[in-house]
Structure 1
Amino acid sequence: MRTFEVRPGHVPYLPGLTLPGAVVTRFLALVQVTGDADAAQRLMSGIVIFHDVTGFLPRTARRTPSDYAGTLRSQLDALGDSRLVVTELLCDGDHVFVRWRRHGRHRGPINGHPPTGLPLTEMGSTTFRVAEGRIVEVWLQDDRAGLAAQLERNRTVAQVAMEQLSPLTAA
């Protein structure tokens, strides 16, 4: 097991890491926690095949590094100052498996839920395929049901708090 917190711009040294593993750890530190489009261009192929295997109907999409970075920046904005923790990183040939948790605060809209400022934890795993030193394919699995439950709980907590404050602000 290789557990570590991903810090923006800090590529961790992990002894015995394969070349694909090194590409992915660079990607995590330079793109995944920052949304840096230039770093995405350097570490991803011109078109990356993304398999979203979480949903009821799994889907596959072709994405450019700049598309990916833009979507990622929106997600990072919604979670405020978040922390990404890798709880498992395994390499096998050209594939790299990463199990992760992202902790943040709900600072922007997510799936129609307005920001509450309350904590959120997103969990999942991603498998990357690396060819010629660049990420060419990604399989994403994340706990959408768990995130939806947290968003609903936070909405309820925020609503109750507002109702409790209403009589105080009316006086």
Structure 2
Amino acid sequence: MSIDANKELVRRLVEAINRDDAAAFEALVAPEFLLRDAVVPTPRGPAGFREAAAVFHAAFPDFEETAEDVIAEGDKVVLRWTARGTHRGEFLGVAPTGRVIGFSGMAVFRVADGKFVESWQCHDRQGMLRQLERAAACEGGGGR
């Protein structure tokens, strides 16, 4: 596939994440797909990718990711993204706060035969946890 086609795959994946679209995950993610993410370890394949996305949708039902930059070379595509959502479910041990939080991250995807086969992901977990903990402290009367 061309570099432009690989970049378009990433844009379609961001849309699928926002919709929590199982059919799109099946179409975009290879059965042998491996997600390398320290926060959300998952099984392989489209189901594993959807499981990872579901963790965020369970905690932030209005979760929305935005592709800020999509850069490609060869079979790799880099995505710099931002995300926002309202904390309505437990996340990383923090009870729901009802607050909107935002965070950012990056992912490197490897594409083969028109599907994602591997991804390395990282995001600002510390910044996200600070927002959640700050919100939880405010809700519990612990100050600002």
The bucket for the TM-score relative to the shorter chain is 0.7 to 0.9
Q: TM-score, normalised to structure 2's length?
A: 0.87
1:149 is displaced (CA, Å) by 0.9
**Residues paired across the two proteins, number:** 142
1:60 is displaced (CA, Å) by 7.9
Which residue number corresponds to residue 21 of structure 1? Answer: 7
CA contact (8 A) 2:42 2:51 kept: no
- Cα RMSD after superposing both structures: 2.4
Equivalent-residue separation in structure 1 for 2:104 and 2:85 (angstroms): 12
Equivalent-residue separation in structure 2 for 1:35 and 1:80 (angstroms): 10
1:73 is displaced (CA, Å) by 2.1
Per-residue CA shift, 1:62-114, capped at 9, x if unaligned? 51211221331231131121332222111111111111110111011101111
Equivalent-residue separation in structure 1 for 2:103 and 2:10 (angstroms): 19
Equivalent-residue separation in structure 1 for 2:42 and 2:140 (angstroms): 37
Cα 1:60–1:70 change in 2 (3 A) is closer
- Identity score, percent: 28
Which residue number corresponds to residue 117 of structure 1? Answer: 98
Instruction: Please point out which of 5, 22, 28 is paired with 1:37.
Output: 22
Per-residue CA shift, 1:110-163, capped at 9, x if unaligned? 0111111011112100111111000001010111111111111011011118x9
CA contact (8 A) 1:34 1:73 kept: no
Deviation above 3 Å: which 4+ runs of structure 1? 59-62
Q: TM-score, normalised to structure 1's length?
A: 0.75
Where does structure 1 lack aligned partners over 5 or more consecutive residues? 1-15, 164-171
Matched, 1:72 2:57: no
Which residue number corresponds to residue 88 of structure 2? Answer: 107
